[in-house]
């Protein structure tokens, strides 16, 4: 449907404009085929209205033949053909209308000039139709730019939402609740430790927000965030949580997406160490092999433990963060052994300055 | 009236600070005697009967056994107040008749409220009828998921049978015998309850008294008119009723 048909008032105005054009048309008809004004008007006004609707067909023709580079010639040919066709159908309609008028009101107006009138319609129809095509192209270009703008806005909103979701997942509410509970406990027994933990928690949150707002960070910065996180978990888990770090020289300067390792360490504690009575050791390894950076997080698992719901979600988030490197440029491998779980990230080693 | 009854109380949480907090809060209540602390579900299952605990503060997510599984293994059951940072277990907690559900972090007043509820519940005479283990097992299982392991008390110990290891379950009076890895354990529970908690795509009730893992069946043999035997991979034979055979055929 032509968009004009969706607006009753617009449609009425449009029809009115064409009727007025019909009045002007009657004068032109009188120039080509001299006759009384009444007869010329009876002939011209309805035909003007009819052609007003015929030229709307340009909307479909324009849509089917957009003005794309390399297709301009084709569009011009199609439009010219459509213009001739529209003008011809108008001329035929004019011919029939004139014959009808001549037969029904023979006394009122004599119409010896029918052929001339039809030729006039044919001649005028082509430029009028082409004008309509130009207007339609303009309207469609305007709408396309509005659509593009809306799409851009939508994709921006989607990106922000994704960021927020990631952030919310990051600031795992249960981690906060449990940390607050630990602080609550320390306030009674060791106020100094409670203060330190408040400070640590604040530090962790601030770093999470700061790193999360950036596109990439140095691995060393991500590792500092992980240390903040571990310091808090250490209070909750005490001796049950041990950490082993093996960060090779040259790895720390590599560029990584922010919040890449911290969720993996969180998983290692939540689904690994926390599920074992005796706790265990989380191993953090980073090494650079030429132009490849390899990061590993490994934790022991209880052999009787069943996967808790949500265990795969964190990994999925991390995997999505790796998509930024491009298809197949980086990958995440998860391996579950009889008594351990290991996640290995392999990504391009990009220097911090590169 | 007698002096208020002293409640023997156990604190079960895998995090030391969380236990310390409860101990500190509970110290202000004269009618509460903290008789022990447990850092995991196994210890809790042992300690509750040993200490004759009236009241247990129970964390939900703990090593080995979660809070709901601990409750499933206790008989008789003490009054239970769950303490957790997760609000999503609250509904399940009340389904298993928990007295209260404390969300970490909580303060003294909230704990005092919980204790008031405990006293009310215990003063009402006999504790509210404990729901059958079935209901507990169902509540311990997140909705839409099938049982992933069976828990059996083995004296003071708890044995965990992962469902992948389970061969078949057999009804024996009020008990079920759980057969896995060539061993068997008895659990006080009706077979129907166990059957209802198992994944129907993997387990079939082939007989009034037997539920079997379909992938353990090596072959079926006609034994008499309308009655068959299922021969398991390890050579064991289980009777298959006519209805059981129909159910099996639908699945195989």
Percent with pLDDT over 90 in chain A: 43
Long-range contacts of B22-27 (CB under 8 A, 24+ apart): B22/B57, B22/B83, B22/B111, B24/A185, B24/A188, B24/A189, B25/B108, B25/B111, B26/B111
Q: Is A338 on the interface with B (CB under 8 A)?
A: no
Q: Cα(B85)–Cα(A293) distance, rounded to whole angstroms?
A: 37
Per-residue pLDDT band for A38 (boundaries 50, 70, 90) equals confident
- Which pTM value belongs to this model? 0.67
Contact A251, A212 (CB under 8 A): no
Residue A209, token pair as written in the block: 């927000």
A81-90, A115-124, A328-337, B1-10: least confident range:
B1-10
Is the CB of residue A285 less than 8 Å away from at least one CB of chain B?
Answer: no
On average, the pLDDT of chain B sits at 88
| Contact status of A239 with chain B (Cβ, < 8 Å) | no
Min Cα–Cα distance to chain B from A216, Å = 32
User: Which residue out of B47, B63, B101, B146 would a mutagenesis test of the A interface target, given it has the greatest number of A Cβ atoms within 10 Å?
Assistant: B63
Task: Please report the pLDDT score of residue B3 as a whole number.
Answer: 58
For residue B105, say if its preceding peptide bond is cis, omega within 30 degrees of 0.
yes
pLDDT band (50, 70, 90) for residue B166: very high
Kindly state the average pLDDT of the residues B108-119: 95
Supply the pLDDT for residue A166: 65
Beta carbons within 10 angstroms of residue A153's beta carbon: 10
**Domains of chain A with bracketed CATH:** 3-156 (no CATH), 171-348 (3.30.565.10)
**A183 in contact with B, Cβ within 8 Å:** yes
* Closest chain B residue to A194, measured at CA: B17
Q: How confident is the model at residue A329 (pLDDT cuts 50, 70, 90)?
A: confident
**pLDDT per residue as tens digits for the range A83-104:** 999 999 998 988 888 888 877 7
**pLDDT over threshold 80, residue A257:** yes
Hey, which residues does B152 pair with through a beta bridge? B159
Q: Is the pLDDT of residue A202 over 70?
A: yes
pLDDT of residue B133: 62
Interface probe with B: pick from A306, A308, A311, most Cβ of B within 10 Å: A306
Average pLDDT over residues B181-207: 89
CB–CB of A277 and B17 under 8 A?
A: no
Chain B residues whose CB is inside 8 A of the A173 CB are 85
Mean of the pLDDT values across residues A56-74? Answer: 87
- The pLDDT confidence band at residue A5, using thresholds 50, 70 and 90, is confident
Higher pLDDT, B33 or A324: B33
- Point out the least confidently predicted range of A157-171, A197-211, A309-323: A157-171
Residue of B14, B21, B61 with shortest CB distance to A184? B21
So what's the pLDDT on residue B22?
96
Question: How confident is the model at residue B70, as a pLDDT?
Answer: 92
Q: Would the ipTM clear 0.90, i.e. be above it?
A: no
Q: What are phi and psi of A31, to 5 degrees?
A: -70, -45
CB count, 10 Å around CB of B40? 20
Residue A353 has pLDDT above 70, yes or no: no
Would an 8 Å CB–CB cutoff place A196 in contact with chain B? no
Q: How confident is the model at residue B127 (pLDDT cuts 50, 70, 90)?
A: low
Does residue A326 have a pLDDT over 90?
Answer: no
Q: Kindly tell me if the per-residue pLDDT of A26 is higher than 80.
A: yes
For chain B, which domains are there? 7-135 (3.40.50.2300), 146-251 (2.40.50.1020)
pLDDT exceeds cutoff 50 at A354: no
pLDDT of the residue at B251: 82
Spacing of C-alpha B66 from chain mean position: 9
Rank B22-31, B59-68, B186-195 by mean pLDDT and report only the highest: B22-31
The residues on B that touch A, with CB distances below 8 Å, are 14-18, 20-21, 24, 39-40, 42, 61, 63-64, 85-86, 103-107, 142, 145, 148-149, 160, 162
Cβ of B142 and A189 within 8 Å?
no
For the ranges A34-38, A111-115, B20-24, the maximum mean pLDDT occurs at B20-24
Please tell me which of the candidates B21, B64, B162 has its beta carbon nearest to residue A185: B21
């Amino acid at each position: 449907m032509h968009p004009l048909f969706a607006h009753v008032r617009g449609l009425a105005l449009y029809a009115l404009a064409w009727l007025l054009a019909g009045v002007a048309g009657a004068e032109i008809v009188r120039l080509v085929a001299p006759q009384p004004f009444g007869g010329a008007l009876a002939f011209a006004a309805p035909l003007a209205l009819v052609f007003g609707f015929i030229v709307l067909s340009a909307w479909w023709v324009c849509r089917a033949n957009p003005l794309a580079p390399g297709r301009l010639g084709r569009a011009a040919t199609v439009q010219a053909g459509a213009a001739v066709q529209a003008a011809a159908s108008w001329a035929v309609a004019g011919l029939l209308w004139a014959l009808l008028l001549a037969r029904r009101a023979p006394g009122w107006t004599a119409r010896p000039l029918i052929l001339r009138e039809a030729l006039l319609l044919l001649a005028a129809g082509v430029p009028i139709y082409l004008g309509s095509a130009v207007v339609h192209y303009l309207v469609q270009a305007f709408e396309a730019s509005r659509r593009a703008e809306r799409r851009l806005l939508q994709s921006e909103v989607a990106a922000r939402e994704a960021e927020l979701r990631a952030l919310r997942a990051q600031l795992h509410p249960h981690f906060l609740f449990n940390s607050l509970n630990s602080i609550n406990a320390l306030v009674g027994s060791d106020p100094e430790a409670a203060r330190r933990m408040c400070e640590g928690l604040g530090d962790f949150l601030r770093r999470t927000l700061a790193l999360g707002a950036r596109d990439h960070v140095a691995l060393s910065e991500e590792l500092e965030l992980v240390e903040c996180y571990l310091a808090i978990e250490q209070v909750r888990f005490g001796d049950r949580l041990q950490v082993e770090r093996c960060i090779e020289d040259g790895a720390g300067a590599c560029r990584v997406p922010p919040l890449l390792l911290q969720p993996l360490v969180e998983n290692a504690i939540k689904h690994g160490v926390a599920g074992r009575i005796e706790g265990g050791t989380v191993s953090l390894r980073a090494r650079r092999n030429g132009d490849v950076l390899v990061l590993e997080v490994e934790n022991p698992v209880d052999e009787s433990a069943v996967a808790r719901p949500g265990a795969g979600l964190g990994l999925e988030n991390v995997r999505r963060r790796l998509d930024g490197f491009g298809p197949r440029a980086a990958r995440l491998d998860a391996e579950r052994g009889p008594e351990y779980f290991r996640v290995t990230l392999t990504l391009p080693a990009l220097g911090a300055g590169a | 009236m007698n002096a208020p009854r002293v409640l023997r109380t156990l604190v079960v949480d895998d995090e030391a600070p969380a236990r310390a907090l409860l101990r500190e809060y509970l110290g202000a209540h004269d009618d509460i005697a903290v008789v022990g602390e447990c850092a995991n579900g196994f210890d809790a299952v042992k300690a509750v009967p040993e200490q004759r605990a009236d009241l247990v503060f129970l964390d939900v997510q703990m090593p080995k056994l979660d809070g709901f599984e601990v409750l499933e293994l206790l008989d008789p059951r003490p009054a239970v107040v769950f303490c957790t940072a997760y609000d999503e277990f609250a509904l399940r907690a009340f389904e298993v008749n928990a007295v209260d559900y404390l969300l970490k972090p909580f303060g003294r007043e909230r704990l005092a409220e919980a204790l008031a509820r405990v006293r009310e519940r215990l003063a009402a005479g006999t504790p509210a009828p404990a729901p059958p283990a079935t209901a507990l097992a169902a509540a311990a299982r997140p909705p839409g998921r099938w049982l992933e392991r069976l828990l059996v008390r083995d004296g003071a110990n708890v044995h965990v049978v992962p469902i992948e290891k389970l061969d078949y379950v057999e009804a024996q009076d009020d008990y079920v015998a759980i057969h896995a890895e060539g061993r068997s354990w008895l659990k006080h529970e009706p077979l129907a309850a166990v059957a209802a908690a198992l994944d129907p795509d993997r387990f079939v009730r082939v007989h009034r008294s037997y539920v079997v893992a379909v992938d353990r069946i090596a072959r079926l043999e006609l034994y008499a008119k309308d009655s068959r035997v299922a021969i398991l991979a390890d050579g064991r034979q289980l009777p298959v009723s006519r209805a059981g055979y129909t159910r099996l055929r639908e699945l195989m």
